[in-house]
Amino acid sequence: MTTEEAAFLRHLPDLAFAFALVLARAGAACMLLPGIGEAELPMMVRAGFALALAFVLLPVLAPTLPLPPADAWQGFTMLAAELAAGALLGWLARLLLVALPLAGQFIAVLTGQASILQPDDVLGQQGAALGRLFALAGPVLLLASGLYALPLQALAGSYAVLPAGAMLPAGDTAATVTAAVGGCFALALRLAGPFLLAGILWHVVLAGLGRLAPQLPLFFLAAPAQLLGGLLLLALLGGSLLTVWGTAAAEGFALLPGH
């Protein structure tokens, strides 16, 4: 056995522990990152991507990673901290993607399409078909535009913000989660804003017609007009809606920890 081989064998436990730390954070993030952690992707594909990402990051991060602790329980605690850090980063990025199908749900309700339900892995067991359409459009737009690379850059840079094996700061994490959830709903309402305004005006007009001609069957007359008007407005604003969401997603990804 050569000297190099002996040295490699001595450092093999340290290298294995370092790889486990990187894989824990990368694996937890890849299960949630938009465009990569989609429920439609087979679990083996996501796991393979996480494994490849860990192999890419390990040579760069190896000098900054801690050595294996003498206590096994402390080692498991460090791995759990890495899982939590990766899950938080992936979840923060996914919230920006969830805003798009959430806006689709709002639009479906406002345009009378909420009764058309489809299985939805993003928002629950079932959701509006329009929300499901937006849930599929989001990852396609991310992958086609290259925005998926921004969360990956944040993952690589997150080790400078949160060192490997360190626990998440409770106060800062709670504030970040609260702000991210509020931003998700705010973005969804902003995307659905024109439809919300049109819905309010539509119901004001219906209320006036109901006062002027109470004998008219307004429900049967209004439902088809609401559906057709909503589809027309969606055809006019759909492209702009996706553009606004893409810009907001790029700005949100740039604010992820690690950028």
Half-sphere exposure of 13 (CA within 13 A, CB side): 6
Which amino acid would we find at residue 64? T
Cα 1 from Cα 56, distance rounded (Å): 29
d(CA 108, CA 180): 24
Closest CA to 241 of 99, 145, 113, 129: 99
pLDDT of 117 above 80: no
Euclidean distance between CA atoms 170 and 228, whole angstroms: 49
Q: How many CA atoms lie within 13 A of 48 on its CB side?
A: 5
Task: Give the pLDDT confidence score for residue 125 in this predicted structure.
Answer: 64
State the chain's mean pLDDT as an integer. Answer: 85
Range of lowest pLDDT (43-47, 103-107, 193-197, 208-212): 208-212
Helix, strand counts (H, E) of the chain:
8, 2
For residue 221, pLDDT beyond 60: yes
Q: How many CA atoms lie less than 13 Å away from 49 in the CB half-sphere?
A: 16
pLDDT for the residue 130:
84
Average pLDDT over residues 113-134: 72
Bridge partners of 124, per DSSP, are 120
Residue 203 main-chain phi, psi, to 5 deg: -75, -30
Give the model's pLDDT for residue 4: 62
pLDDT in tens, 139-197: 999 988 888 899 999 998 899 888 888 888 888 888 889 999 999 999 999 999 999 99
- What six digits make up the tokens of 183? 């931003």
Which residues lie below 8 Å from residue 97, measured CB to CB, with a gap of 6+? 34, 35, 138, 139, 142, 249
Q: Write out pLDDT tens, residues 1-25.
A: 566 655 555 667 778 888 999 999 9
**How high is the pLDDT of residue 29?**
92
pTM (two decimals): 0.86
Evaluate whether 202 touches 229 at the Cβ level (below 8 Å).
yes
Indicate whether 227 pLDDT > 90. no
